[in-house]
Every structure is written in C-alpha cells, then in structure tokens.
Amino acid sequence: MSMVFALIGNQNCGKTTLFNQLTGSNQHVGNFPGVTVEKKEGVIKQAKSATVVDLPGIYSLSPYTSEEIVTRDFLLNTHPDAILNIVDATNIERNLYLTLQLIELNIPMVLALNMMDEVVQSGNSIDIEKLSEGLGIPVVPISASKGEGIGELVDMIMKVGEQKTTPKRVDFCSDEVHRAIHAVAHLVEDHAQAIGMPVRFAATKLMEGDEPTIQALKLNQNEIETLGHITTEMETALGTDREAALADMRYTFIEKLCATCVHKHAETREQQRSVKMDAILTHKYLAIPIFLVIMAVVFWLTFGLIGAALSDWLSMGIDWVTAATDAFLTNVGVSAPIHSLIIDGVFAGVGSVLSFLPTIVVLFFFLSLLEDSGYMARVAFVMDKLLRKIGLSGRSFVPMLIGFGCSVPAIMSTRTLASERDRKMTILLTPFMSCSAKLPIYAVFTAAFFQENQALVMISLYVLGMVVAILCGLLFKHTLFRGNPVPFVMELPAYRLPSGKTIVLHMWEKAKDFIRKAFTVIFVATIVIWVLQSFDFTFNMVENSADSMLAAIGSWIAPIFAPLGFGDWRASTALLTGLSAKEAVVSTFAILMGVSGPSELAPLLSNLFTPLTAFSFLCFTLLYMPCVAAFAAIKREMGSLWQALGAMAFQTGVAWVVAFGVYHIGMLFV
Amino acid sequence: MTLDKVKTGHGGVIVQIGGQGMLRRRLLDMGLTPKTRVMVRKVAPMGDPIELYLRGYELTIRAEEAANIEILPDEENKNEQHVGE
C-alpha cells in the first residue's frame, strides 16, 4: 500500500520549495473538506509509492486560525504514515517550537533541516547527531533551493514510514509542568484512547485550555474539575498562567538543546544582507517611493515591454491559424452557419482572449518573485498603518496587490488572513483593483480615444479603483464591519533569491488556470453569444446582428446605461458578456461590429462612443461585478451564495454611481 | 516599561505578556515568553507597526500589541540613532 506523508513547517521555511523538489510538476491542488484552505498533494518523484500532502504554513498547533485547525484535524483524523517537518536552520529556535508540538502526536516523524548551506557558509554549525538525539527523531540536513540532501531525506522518511518508528521521546518538560502534564495524562488516558487521540497531545492541549480538545474528549464534570485543580496548582507553583507556562516549557527545552548543538558565531550572510536591504527598503522616507517604483516597473515590464511583445506574437500566430482554417473551410465547402460558428464565434472569441495569456504569465512571474523573495512581507509592514485606517491590516495589502493580476487568486489568497472580518472586507474590496483581464478593454478603448494620453488614462483607471476601494473601506468600517481588526503579528523573513523552479511552477499553474478558463467558461460563453447574435427568436440566421436575440436583450437593458452616456445596445451587450470573463467585452464588440480582432475594432468604436462616454464606460467596466470565475471564488470564500450575490449587487451599484458621476461632471467641461 | 515605549535600537528582557486569547497565544507561540531578550529594530515609515528582533529572527507587531509586553530595559545604551518617535 502506498504511504502518505504530511509536510509541515512554519511559513517562510522553504516548504513550497521542498514540496516542488519532491513532487516536480506532479501536483494536485484542491481544498480541505469543509474549509477554504488549499490542499496540495503529489507523488514523490524519487519514491513512486509515496504521496506527500503539503499542509499550510503554521507556527503552532493552537486552535485559532483555520490553517492551524486544518493541520490538526488532518494529523489526528487522517493518520498519515509519517510527518515530514521542515525547519529553517537559520531560525531554529522558533521553528522547533512547532516541532515539539508535532512530536507530542507520536506519529513517525523526520525533521528536514533546511537552509543548512546558509548556516555552513556563514561559519556556523549545527550538530545534527546531537539535535537528533535531543529530539528523539531523525534529522536530515538539506538545502531545498539547491536540491541538496533530498535523496537522503526521501530514503529516511520511507524508512521511518515503513518501520513506523515513532519519536523516541515525547517528554520535554520538567518540575511543575512535568507533574501537572503527567497527572492530566493519567486522568484522560481512557478518553484519549477511545477517540484515538495521542495521550500526550491531549494532555498538553488540555493544560493549555484548548477548547476543541476539551470537547472532543467528552470529559465529565468531575474530570473537568480535577483538570482545573491540577492547572491551578501548577499556575500557583510557577507564578504564571497555563498558556505562558507551556510556551515557556517548550522554549526552555529548545534553548537548552540549541545551547548544546547549535554553534552560532554570527548571523548568516542572508540575514546580514537583509538588515542592509531593509535599511533602504523600509526606510522612513524611501520605503513608499521605492515600492511605487517597483510596482511601476513591474507593470511597465508586464504590460508595456515583455507581455505586449509576447501577446503580439501570439496574436499573429492565432491570426495565421484562423486564416488557414478559414481557407480550409471555404475549400471544403462547409455550410455557412458552421463556418460562421468556427471563425466568427470560436476563433474570434477564444483567440482574442488567448492573446492575453503572456501578459498574465509575466505578471505572475513578477508577483511570485516579490512574494517569494520576502518583499511582500515588507510591503505589509510598511503599509499596515495605511490599511488600518480603513479597518484592515497590512496583510490585506498582498491580496489587493494580486487583485491587479487577477481577482480569482487574489480572493483565494485572503485565506491567509486570520479573521473572518478582515477576510470578507478584503474580498469585497479586492475586485475594485483593476484586474489584468480588463486590460484588453482599456487597451482597445485608449487606443481608439486617447492615443495621446494612453498611459495617463490607464493609470487614472487604476487609481480610481484604489480610491473607490478606500472610500468603500471607510464606509464598511463604520457600518457593516464595525469592531476591532485582528492582531497583526507577522514574521519578516530574510530576503532570499526565490528558486526558479518554484516560480516556473507557479507561472505554469496560473497559465493552466487561464487556458482552462479560456477553453471552458469563455468557450461556452462565446458560443452562446454567437448563437444569440447570429439567430433571431425564431432561430433563423440573421443577416444583420442588429436583428438578433442578443440585440434584443441588449436593447432591453440599454436604458439602464443611458444616464451614464452609453445607451447603445452593443455596449450593454458587451457588459453582459463581460460577466463570463472581462476579456469577452472586447471579443463581443469585435463580433457585434463584424471585425475579427481588437486592432480592427478600435477605429469603429468612435461610432458608438465619444471620448467622455468611452471613459465613463471604462469606469463602469473597472468597477462593476467581476467575472463568473471571481464570483465562484467569492462565493466559496464567503461561504454563502447570498453574501456573494450581495457583493455583486454592491459592486455594480458602486460602478453605476461612479460612472454616472464621471459622465455628468465630465459634461460640464466638455 | 512596555515594549511600545522602547526606542529603536534598544531592548530588554521580557517580564510578562499581558492581553488575552488569540493575540496573547500568538505572541507566546512566536517566542515572546518571559525571560526572552528582545530588541526594537525598526519602526515602520508611518510610525507603526514596529519590528522586533528576538531568538535570531525578526517579528512585526503593532504598537498597541507591544503595549501588552512588559520588559525590563537594558541599562546600557546602544550606539544607534533614535528614530521613529
């Protein structure tokens, strides 16, 4: 039977890098049942009969965040064959705190001591044998980013898993805590065994006053009282409370252990370098300008230089394939409706969307570069005070930033936020960050109407989105989301060059997502639109798309947009199809105007819009409800269809009001 | 003295951690336990949050949370600039 290993470690300890080293591109991404925490698993390349599950990065098995709860439940209920605990050797004290809690579970376990190359390089050393002896589990030194020690690690975890070698010791305490834990262990042994919970784990969690454990064990009144008595006695003897006592017990053990086996003369080169880099990157006056410059460069490279060139090549390729297919279909003599479906529906729709794939891949390249290098944590540090003004924490900044790439991963990344309140508020505001799928719309419209100030108009849209988000944040803070923001306790990891493999895998994942979206949601949407615009209500093919079903639906809702300056049925129809995916706005205009691509579309748009109404249209497009994929993500993260629908209504309402304002104020000047 | 009053570049030894619930547990889990040495390394450009150095790593907390941490300040002054007041 194949074995299952649980990969666990702190945040920023190289867990994802190790997971990628172990599994390569052979990964399956899903969700833990019932919650919205991502679950990745993959088959270990070096040992085909074993699966590794990547658990969320956590610091403790406390019962607060959904990540911690998921990890606990997975370990207690799924019974993995072994735990693979990854530890950052350059930050060993704090990392071992989780290790000690994991050992209490009495599951076979191997410790992967990561970043040993950095430790050795800086002239420090760690006595692996002594560390292993002190913890009672095998320790394998590795460098996940360089791929060193991975083979040895796999051999060791396979051996430990096969032989079911449980940790040699679970006892790390002394004196008062020791007495108390043993008394509690004795007290609850039967209960713990009855539900298959490791006794030692149950005892320490009860001592910490851990609610889920108290409930799971089904203690009777008598036992609860005895438990209270034991804890009070310990608290009195130590002169401290139970939680501090247990944390102190673990850290005291770690300090003693490290004193014998960790020889540290200096901070590592990476840590010293980080201090120097932070002197500039989090500097009192320079931090924010530098951040703005970095983001500007990222966006310029993505949308101006690399992404645009790649997109051009790709669309040239698509045009060539379209022309070849067109010629082929004509030669074979395929019937007119089918010919139209393939060329005008499928190729025009999916093709125009696909040409934006490079932009998205390039953007995610930079975003993961910033995230994995440790810079995003500095951004949260620098921006925290600003975001707190609208009732959020610096951590919400990262999802919002990703929102500029795509709302879907941005909304998914809100899972790292500890409180539901922050999460929901961030989810509501993130779609106001102009996602990259809206870029094709801006590109076509600015090319048509604002050739002179193309960049300025685009920037103004991005800024408008942010301003609207801030205003809505302030509104929420005083209405829907009153109350305290969550505590902001965050590690600033040392700056590191991210591994190329991790970035490539990340980009590949995003590209796959986007292509899948293009060939499913967008594919279906383009066919539906093609049917609606090629046929009338009697399902006869129409000569002119103005007689089609789509034109009728567009005309019905067009009056809603008349006060915003764009009452034409083609504009309202494009907005409707934009719900399938924002890129579809462009392809719909292309189909409705009877042209094959964005480049031919631009000159024709002046028949529908003036520069002012075009800008009003762009503002509406920027702010109105996101695409179906984002809607699905919002529904999942909010955990309620009604709340998700409410969010859509809210965003569309805001869009209408803003576009109305822009149009009418603009009229005063034009 | 509470940690939010400590100047950049200065530090001390933790006496006790106040507060309650999730926040307090998080601080303890991150290694802010009594008798631990801690130093204020930096203050964010807008004056809050602050960056601590303890147990060989850097941790960011807000001033209002730092106010829950009681420390015994070091006697000697380090030769670093006083910024971020």
The nearest CA of chain B is from the CA of A86 a distance in Å of: 17
Distance CA A618, CA A623 (A): 9
Question: Using an 8 Å Cβ cutoff, are A559 and A567 in contact?
Answer: yes
Q: Which of B28, B49, B83 sits opposite A244 (nearest CB)?
A: B28
Mean pLDDT along residues A590-607: 80
Over 80: is that where the pLDDT of A581 sits?
no
Quick check: A487 and B23 CB within 8 A?
A: yes
Q: Which of B33, B46, B59 sits opposite A247 (nearest CB)?
A: B33
Quick check: B34 and A492 CB within 8 A?
A: no
Q: For A284, which residue in chain B has the nearest alpha carbon?
A: B45
Mean pLDDT along residues A187-212: 92
- Within 10 A of A283 (CB to CB), how many other CB atoms are there? 16
Quick check: A60 and B61 CB within 8 A?
A: no
Domains of chain A from N-terminus onward = 3-163 (3.40.50.300), 290-485+498-669 (no CATH)
Across A89-103, A358-372, A561-575, which has the greatest mean pLDDT? A89-103
Mean pLDDT along residues A582-593: 82
Across A31-40, A94-103, A256-265, A522-531, which has the greatest mean pLDDT? A94-103
Under the banding of pLDDT at 50, 70 and 90, the label for residue A390 is: confident
The predicted pLDDT at position A517 comes to 66
Distance CA B61, CA A241 (A): 22
Quick check: B44 and A384 CB within 8 A?
A: yes
Quick check: A384 and B33 CB within 8 A?
A: no
Which chain B residues touch A240 with a CB distance below 8 Å?
16, 34
Quick check: A244 and B59 CB within 8 A?
A: no
Which chain A residues touch B33 with a CB distance below 8 Å?
244, 247-248, 251
Give the residue from B8, B33, B52 with the most A CB atoms within 10 Å of its CB, the best one to mutate. Answer: B33
- Within 10 A of B73 (CB to CB), how many other CB atoms are there? 14
Of A181 and A47, the structure prediction assigns the larger pLDDT to: A181
Over 70: is that where the pLDDT of A104 sits?
yes
Using one digit for the tens of pLDDT, what is the confidence trace for A308-349? 788 788 888 888 998 999 999 999 888 888 888 888 778 876
Distance CA A81, CA A79 (A): 6
Q: For A386, which residue in chain B has the nearest alpha carbon?
A: B46
Pairing of strands A139-141, A109-114: parallel
Q: Which of B25, B42, B46 sits opposite A385 (nearest CB)?
A: B46
Quick check: A64 and B25 CB within 8 A?
A: yes
Mean pLDDT along residues B49-57: 94
Distance CA A588, CA A578 (A): 8
The nearest CA of chain A is from the CA of B19 a distance in Å of: 11
Under the banding of pLDDT at 50, 70 and 90, the label for residue B51 is: very high
Under the banding of pLDDT at 50, 70 and 90, the label for residue A36 is: low
The predicted pLDDT at position B2 comes to 93
Question: Using an 8 Å Cβ cutoff, are A388 and A370 in contact?
Answer: no
Across A43-57, A144-158, A162-176, A327-341, which has the greatest mean pLDDT? A144-158
Quick check: A284 and B83 CB within 8 A?
A: yes
Q: For A489, which residue in chain B has the nearest alpha carbon?
A: B61
Under the banding of pLDDT at 50, 70 and 90, the label for residue A225 is: very high
Q: A84: part of which helix (H) or strand (E)?
A: strand A82-88
Q: For A274, which residue in chain B has the nearest alpha carbon?
A: B58
Of A353 and B5, the structure prediction assigns the larger pLDDT to: B5
Side-chain half-sphere CA neighbours of B55 within 13 A: 26
The nearest CA of chain A is from the CA of B64 a distance in Å of: 9
The predicted pLDDT at position A436 comes to 80
Quick check: B28 and A97 CB within 8 A?
A: no
Distance CA A201, CA A107 (A): 11
Across A393-397, A485-489, B1-5, which has the greatest mean pLDDT? B1-5
Write b or e for each residue in A105-143: b if 16 or more Cβ atoms lie within 10 A of its Cβ, otherwise e: bebbbbbbbbbbbbbeebebebebeebbbbbbbbbbbbb
The predicted pLDDT at position A255 comes to 95
Quick check: B42 and A282 CB within 8 A?
A: yes
Provide the CA A138 distance to its chain's centre, in angstroms: 33
**Which letter does DSSP use for residue A487 in this model?**
P
Using one digit for the tens of pLDDT, what is the confidence trace for B55-84? 999 999 999 899 999 999 987 544 444 443
Using one digit for the tens of pLDDT, what is the confidence trace for A484-513? 656 788 889 999 888 888 888 888 877 887
Of A351 and A651, the structure prediction assigns the larger pLDDT to: A651
The predicted pLDDT at position A51 comes to 95
Q: Tokens standing for B79?
A: 């030769």
Under the banding of pLDDT at 50, 70 and 90, the label for residue A552 is: confident
Reduce the DSSP state of residue A491 to 3 states and report it. Answer: strand
**What does the mean pLDDT of chain A come to?**
87
The predicted pLDDT at position A88 comes to 96
Q: Which CATH class is domain B3-73?
A: mainly beta
Which chain B residues touch A92 with a CB distance below 8 Å?
56
Quick check: A487 and B42 CB within 8 A?
A: no
The nearest CA of chain A is from the CA of B54 a distance in Å of: 9
The predicted pLDDT at position B80 comes to 45
Mean pLDDT along residues A380-398: 86
Question: Using an 8 Å Cβ cutoff, are A255 and B13 in contact?
Answer: no
The predicted pLDDT at position A169 comes to 83
Least confident range of A122-131, A163-172, A530-539 = A530-539
Under the banding of pLDDT at 50, 70 and 90, the label for residue B85 is: very low
Q: How far apart are the first and last CA of chain B?
A: 16
Using one digit for the tens of pLDDT, what is the confidence trace for A275-287? 999 999 999 899 9
In Å, what is the CA distance from A156 to each residue of A4, A138, A321?
14, 8, 52
Give the pTM: 0.82
Q: Tokens standing for A338?
A: 């089918």
The predicted pLDDT at position A633 comes to 77
- Amino acid letter, residue A149: G
Domain ranges of chain B: 3-73
Give the residue from A251, A389, A397, A495 with the most B CB atoms within 10 Å of its CB, the best one to mutate. Answer: A251
Least confident range of A232-241, A320-329, A601-610 = A601-610
Over 50: is that where the pLDDT of A433 sits?
yes
Of A171 and A561, the structure prediction assigns the larger pLDDT to: A561
Of A591 and A32, the structure prediction assigns the larger pLDDT to: A591
Distance CA A150, CA A152 (A): 5
Question: Using an 8 Å Cβ cutoff, are A473 and A338 in contact?
Answer: no
Across A23-32, A57-66, A177-186, which has the greatest mean pLDDT? A177-186
Distance CA A38, CA A256 (A): 36
